Chain A
Amino acid sequence: MLTARIIPCLDVKDGRVVKGVKFQNLKDAGDPAQLARAYQEQGADELVLLDVSATPDGRRTQLEWVRRVRSEISIPLSVGGGVRTLEDAGALLQAGADKVGINTAAVRNPGLLQSMAATFGSQCTVLALDAAKNQNGSFNVVIRSGRERLEQDAVEWARRAAGLGAGEILLTSWDRDGTRRGYDLDLLDAISSAVSVPVIASGGASEPRHLLAALRAGADAVLAASIFHYGEYTVGDLKQFLDSNQVEVRI
């Protein structure tokens, strides 16, 4: 049986990890490669690195740090942030990413999912879907790192994107991200029951029980950032907790 994946997420700006990561015994806690390796040693099943550079200049270092992370780790590496074209995705894969996530570019040009899946395979093609609840209790698509909320229905979009070839959905609740109140379970349930591709829960985790709840609500994997970065729990701690609650994990 497939195990539940635990995926630490690192935000990288201008080649440096941002959001105060507090790790012991690291010479340089801002170095993506050193942190990636530390998480691998804790038992991470996969890593997501998001390039949050605001400028093309900041993003220029992207391929270089992807290469360095790749040479340090022997677990899957998913990279997203600022990917606009098939060429962008191809360059990231060539540098050592195993999967590439796209959000805004896919919403504006859904054909990009199709051409990525045809060129690289669905298993390399990740839809990064940001969503927020509306007044009617359904969910809208959010793009441009939260700056733009669309009328577009998130469940419909997830279904369409999977049909176009997205092999995985990285689902972030824009209502919960950064709140530490737990994942949006309604959103997870709505999306994971609408598609047959795997769904990664993201946004809001701060306690082990949040991860358990997300997996029970239909997530195939759970992504978190601050819960790891502040050193509150290691990946191993969380796996022990899930294991003691009858969730199969790789230990």
Chain B
Amino acid sequence: MKNTFVQVVSTGTANMASVLAGLERAGARPQITADPDRILHADRLVLPGVGSLGAAMSRLEENGLVEALRDRLLSGRPTLAVCVGLQILCESSAESPGVRGLGVFSGRVERFDRSVRVPQMGWNRVEAGDGCELIEGGYAYFANSYRLVDPPAGFCAAFSDHGGRFVAALERGGVLACQFHPELSGAWGLELLRRWLEQNGGVTC
């Protein structure tokens, strides 16, 4: 499916250029948007993010995008969330006390264990759990200090290990949330982007 238009939420984060380049390599035509209507109804949407849950949420609030994004995710329209994009689907994060995430599922994001290097910076092995349709096992590039430990009910999960097991990615139908950066994960990441772009959705765990 070449030249699929993909809307990319303008989150003001630093990794936008890499996300756009990755989507283009995967055959998509990315367009940046901060329009709630597009965010709710676009065929495909990407939510990029680096930085903290608090910063990402306040940017979404400033632009009046919180409701549209939450409604979209709950309806299961094809959406790819990257890095902090995964974390803001949760209820809260130890990184941003007092800030509420989108709360698409219950769960709190916590800092990595003190026994390991933080940020986790580099390539880690990803193991796809039962029922994953998009994610396959392989090495993915991570750059994060906080992570989700327990997968929420209703999602298929993939896992990695950094001082203990954590959620590397979640999928439910067309919704794919990656703690790693598919756009920086070489050929493996590119294939994952392609599968998400070509997926027809509809499968649920």
Within A36-85, the residues touching B (CB, 8 Å) are 40, 45-46, 67, 70-71, 74-77
Assess whether B184 is in contact with A74, with CB atoms less than 8 Å apart: yes
Interface-facing stretch out of A8-16, A92-100, A181-189: A92-100
Q: Residue B122 contacts which of A3, A70, A196 (CB distance < 8 angstroms)? A: A3
Given the complex of chains A and B, what is the CA–CA distance between A1 and B161 in angstroms?
5
Assess whether B144 is in contact with A123, with CB atoms less than 8 Å apart: yes
Given the complex of chains A and B, what is the CA–CA distance between A145 and B86 in angstroms?
40
Assess whether B122 is in contact with A5, with CB atoms less than 8 Å apart: yes
Q: Residue A2 contacts which of B51, B124, B189 (CB distance < 8 angstroms)? A: B124
Given the complex of chains A and B, what is the CA–CA distance between A198 and B143 in angstroms?
11
Assess whether A98 is in contact with B18, with CB atoms less than 8 Å apart: yes
Of B16, B22, B141, B145, the most chain A CB neighbours within 10 A belong to B141
Assess whether B184 is in contact with A123, with CB atoms less than 8 Å apart: no
B202 contacts the other chain (Cβ, under 8 Å)? no
Q: Given the known A-B contacts A96-B17, A196-B118, are A74 and B124 also in contact in the complex, defined by CB atoms under 8 Å?
A: no
Assess whether B122 is in contact with A220, with CB atoms less than 8 Å apart: yes
Given the complex of chains A and B, what is the CA–CA distance between A68 and B142 in angstroms?
23
Given the complex of chains A and B, what is the CA–CA distance between A2 and B119 in angstroms?
11
Contacts of A93 in B (CB 8 A): 14-15, 17
Contacts of B25 in A (CB 8 A): 74
Chain B 1-38, CB-CB to A under 8 Å as 1, else 0, gives 00000000000011111100110110000000000000
A157 contacts the other chain (Cβ, under 8 Å)? no
Chain B 140-156, CB-CB to A under 8 Å as 1, else 0, gives 01111100000000000
Assess whether A123 is in contact with B124, with CB atoms less than 8 Å apart: no
Interface size of A in residues (CB-CB distance below 8 Å): 35
Nearest B residue to A249, CB-CB: B123
A176 contacts the other chain (Cβ, under 8 Å)? no
Distance from A231 Cβ to chain B, minimum over Cβ atoms (Å)? 22
Assess whether A74 is in contact with B125, with CB atoms less than 8 Å apart: no
A250 contacts the other chain (Cβ, under 8 Å)? yes
Contacts of B199 in A (CB 8 A): none
Distance from B66 Cβ to chain A, minimum over Cβ atoms (Å)? 21
B120 contacts the other chain (Cβ, under 8 Å)? yes
Assess whether B14 is in contact with A74, with CB atoms less than 8 Å apart: no
Assess whether B121 is in contact with A123, with CB atoms less than 8 Å apart: yes
Distance from A134 Cβ to chain B, minimum over Cβ atoms (Å)? 28
Assess whether B121 is in contact with A168, with CB atoms less than 8 Å apart: yes
Given the complex of chains A and B, what is the CA–CA distance between A124 and B144 in angstroms?
10
Chain A 164-176, CB-CB to B under 8 Å as 1, else 0, gives 0001100000000
Q: Given the known A-B contacts A93-B17, A120-B51, are A220 and B186 also in contact in the complex, defined by CB atoms under 8 Å?
A: no
Assess whether B121 is in contact with A198, with CB atoms less than 8 Å apart: yes
Please classify the interface of chain B as helix (H, G, I), strand (E, B), loop, or mixed, using the class held by over half of its residues: mixed
Assess whether B123 is in contact with A121, with CB atoms less than 8 Å apart: no
Assess whether B21 is in contact with A2, with CB atoms less than 8 Å apart: no
Q: Given the known A-B contacts A76-B141, A94-B16, are A45 and B122 also in contact in the complex, defined by CB atoms under 8 Å?
A: yes
A190 contacts the other chain (Cβ, under 8 Å)? no
Nearest B residue to A200, CB-CB: B121
Contacts of B187 in A (CB 8 A): 74
Contacts of A98 in B (CB 8 A): 15, 18, 143, 184
Chain A 224-238, CB-CB to B under 8 Å as 1, else 0, gives 000000000000000
B93 contacts the other chain (Cβ, under 8 Å)? no
Contacts of A76 in B (CB 8 A): 141, 143, 181, 184
Q: Given the known A-B contacts A1-B162, A75-B141, are A123 and B119 also in contact in the complex, defined by CB atoms under 8 Å?
A: yes
Nearest B residue to A77, CB-CB: B18
24 contacts between A and B (CB under 8 A): A1-B124, A1-B125, A1-B162, A2-B123, A2-B162, A3-B123, A93-B15, A93-B17, A94-B17, A95-B17, A98-B15, A98-B18, A119-B14, A120-B14, A121-B14, A121-B50, A121-B51, A121-B52, A122-B145, A123-B145, A124-B14, A167-B143, A196-B117, A221-B122
Chain A residues within CB distance 8 Å of chain B: 1-3, 5, 40, 45-46, 67, 70-71, 74-77, 90, 93-98, 119-124, 167-168, 196-198, 220-221, 250
Top 9 closest pairs, chain A to chain B, by CB: A123-B143, A96-B17, A120-B14, A121-B51, A250-B139, A93-B14, A250-B123, A198-B121, A121-B50
